[in-house]
């Protein structure tokens, strides 16, 4: 199989390909070759990013040696849309320890082959559902205008209009278009302090959070209004507490319980989901008992030391997360994990073994492979040293499918095969 050639950028951010050198990739902090079979065409909706503060490393096909390009060349990374799991980071080294820290994105290795960009990735789920380019020009703006005039007093729609039009958040856009999964942000506080939190970063963090956390407390009336509007326009639709623009939704469990009960008094349609860190077990059990249909728990590891280093949990740990999932599964909730994955860490033998046990022991039905959005050096400096054999990201997916009967591996929340009867 033909290999792609190396892609790099100059200091004006213009992307170009090398005539001879092959690309390298990174797994953790190790540079490595990439097999021809590990490349796929750059997906629709993907974007390319120029990585300041980096040296690009290529492979001379004649000698097989790794070569650093000149100082005028910088690495390029692809940012993948939902549906694709990154297999390798771009092949680069930082220009010294004072090199700038990259913003919170999921950088993926890129190459150039037969006139097109290719990326080191696995097509893990149907990309069409969450393809940003599938929404027509002006469609969202019109839908936002209509919804805001139909619900003038609902602050949640006002907030989500900013998410849809400024951040380009697909779940917020769905809420105005009445399609697929809609957003229900509710909380400005969290019982964790993730190293790569996208809604809040400490003042001394080397990068800003890409989104600003909710600054008001949506009322139960405002929540029920958004939930019913979405479900009535799409009876198979999902409404989700726990969005990128908020903290941990379960910190407001009494209002979530009320909102679920009031919606279920009026309709059995649609699916009510919560995206949570799963740490507040008792409150989440109460939410399950109120009539929740789906639960997605975000996690990065089933190993305490790695989990604690990244999530910096306040008053809970992996065992609480497991208890939450176990209870929800036992009550018929369709459970999934939002698995923050990173080549060179996730595919370590001890991580995979622990995660397989975690998935089996806690009745998880779906693993959503989520490329971790963070500067690789920064992340690796914050977590315990990696041990054990490297298995490769594709192998991780194969092991999950082989070792966990009935488990689905995808990239985003799916409508459950069977509707929960409460
Ligand atoms: S659990 Fe979510 S909101 Fe809380 S710190 Fe982590 S990423 Fe941020």
Mean pLDDT value of segment 83-108: 96
CB of 77 closer than 6 angstroms to any ligand 1 atom: no
| pLDDT for the residue numbered 387 | 87
| pLDDT for the residue numbered 269 | 96
| pLDDT for the residue numbered 419 | 83
Q: Whose CA is nearest to atom 3 of ligand 1?
A: 247
d(CA 112, ligand 1 centre) in Å: 36
pLDDT at 422 over 80: no
d(CA 387, ligand 1 centre) in Å: 26
Query: Could you state, in order of their start, the residue ranges of all structural domains in the chain?
Result: 5-128, 130-410
pLDDT at 158 over 90: yes
CB of 243 closer than 6 angstroms to any ligand 1 atom: no
pLDDT at 12 over 90: yes
| pLDDT for the residue numbered 420 | 83
d(CA 125, ligand 1 centre) in Å: 24
How does pLDDT run across 25-43, given as a tens digit for each residue?
A: 999 999 999 999 999 999 9
User: What is this structure's pTM?
Assistant: 0.96
d(CA 201, ligand 1 centre) in Å: 10
d(CA 192, ligand 1 centre) in Å: 6
pLDDT confidence tier of residue 215, bands split at 50, 70 and 90: very high
| pLDDT for the residue numbered 68 | 97
Q: Whose CA is nearest to atom 8 of ligand 1?
A: 197
pLDDT at 141 over 80: yes
CB of 192 closer than 6 angstroms to any ligand 1 atom: yes
Query: In this prediction, what percent of the chain has a pLDDT beyond 70?
Result: 100
| Cβ pair 7, 17 in contact under 8 A | yes
| pLDDT for the residue numbered 122 | 97
199 CA closest ligand 1 atom index: 8
pLDDT at 421 over 80: no
CB of 210 closer than 6 angstroms to any ligand 1 atom: no
| pLDDT for the residue numbered 396 | 98
Domain covering 130-410 in this structure, CATH number = 3.20.20.70
CB of 318 closer than 6 angstroms to any ligand 1 atom: no
d(CA 410, ligand 1 centre) in Å: 22
* CB neighbour burial string for 310-320, b if at least 16 within 10 angstroms, e if fewer: bbebeebebeb
Mean pLDDT value of segment 233-240: 96
| pLDDT for the residue numbered 407 | 97
pLDDT confidence tier of residue 373, bands split at 50, 70 and 90: very high
| pLDDT for the residue numbered 1 | 84
Mean pLDDT value of segment 48-53: 96
d(CA 123, ligand 1 centre) in Å: 27
Structure tokens at 223: 């929540």
> Hey, which of 187, 190, 314, 317 would you mutate to test ligand 1's pocket, going by the most ligand atoms within 8 Å of its Cβ?
190
| pLDDT for the residue numbered 418 | 83
| pLDDT for the residue numbered 231 | 97
Mean pLDDT value of segment 403-419: 94
What is the C-alpha separation between 88 and 28, in angstroms, rounded? 9
Average pLDDT value for the chain: 96
Mean pLDDT value of segment 253-262: 98
pLDDT at 18 over 80: yes
pLDDT confidence tier of residue 347, bands split at 50, 70 and 90: very high
d(CA 66, ligand 1 centre) in Å: 39
pLDDT confidence tier of residue 136, bands split at 50, 70 and 90: confident
CB of 234 closer than 6 angstroms to any ligand 1 atom: no
pLDDT at 246 over 90: yes
pLDDT at 255 over 90: yes
How does pLDDT run across 265-290, given as a tens digit for each residue?
A: 999 999 999 999 999 999 999 999 99
């Amino acid at each position: 199989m033909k290999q792609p050639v190396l892609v790099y950028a100059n200091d004006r951010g213009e992307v170009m390909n090398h005539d001879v050198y092959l690309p390298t990739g990174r797994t953790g902090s190790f540079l490595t070759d990439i097999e021809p079979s590990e490349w796929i065409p750059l997906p629709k909706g993907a974007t390319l990013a120029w990585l300041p503060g980096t040296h690009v490393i290529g492979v001379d096909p004649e000698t097989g040696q790794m070569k650093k390009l000149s100082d005028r060349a910088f690495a390029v990374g692809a940012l993948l849309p939902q549906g694709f799991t990154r297999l390798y980071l771009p092949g680069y080294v930082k220009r010294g320890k004072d090199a700038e820290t990259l913003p919170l994105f999921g950088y993926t290795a890129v190459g150039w082959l037969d006139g097109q960009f290719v990326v080191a990735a696995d097509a893990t789920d149907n990309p069409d559902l969450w393809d940003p380019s599938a929404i027509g020009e002006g469609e969202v703006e019109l839908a936002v205008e209509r919804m805001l005039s139909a619900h003038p007093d609902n602050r949640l729609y006002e907030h989500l209009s900013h998410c849809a039009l400024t951040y380009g958040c697909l779940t917020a856009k769905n809420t105005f278009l009445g399609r697929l999964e809609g957003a229900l942000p509710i909380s400005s506080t969290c019982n964790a302090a993730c190293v790569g939190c996208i809604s809040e970063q400490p003042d001394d963090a080397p990068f800003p959070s890409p989104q600003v956390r909710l600054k008001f407390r949506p009322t139960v009336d405002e929540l029920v209004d958004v939930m019913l509007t979405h479900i009535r326009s799409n009876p198979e639709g999902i409404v989700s507490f726990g969005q990128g623009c908020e903290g941990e939704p379960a910190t407001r469990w009494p209002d979530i319980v009320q909102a679920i009960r009031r919606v279920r008094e009026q309709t059995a349609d649609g699916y009510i989901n919560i995206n949570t860190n799963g740490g507040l077990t008792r409150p989440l059990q109460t939410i399950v008992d109120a009539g929740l249909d789906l639960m997605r728990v975000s996690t990065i590891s089933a190993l305490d030391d790695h989990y604690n280093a990244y999530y910096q949990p306040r008053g809970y740990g992996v065992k609480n997360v497991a208890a939450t999932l176990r209870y929800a599964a036992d009550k018929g909730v369709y459970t999934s994990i939002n698995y923050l994955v990173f080549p060179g860490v996730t595919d370590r033998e001890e991580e995979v073994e622990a995660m397989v046990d975690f998935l089996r022991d806690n009745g998880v039905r779906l693993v959503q492979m989520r490329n971790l959005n963070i500067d690789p050096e920064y992340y690796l400096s914050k977590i315990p040293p990696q041990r054990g054999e490297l298995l490769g990201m594709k192998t991780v997916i194969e092991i999950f499918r082989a070792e966990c009967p009935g488990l689905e591996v995808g990239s985003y929340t799916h409508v459950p095969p069977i509707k929960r009867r409460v």
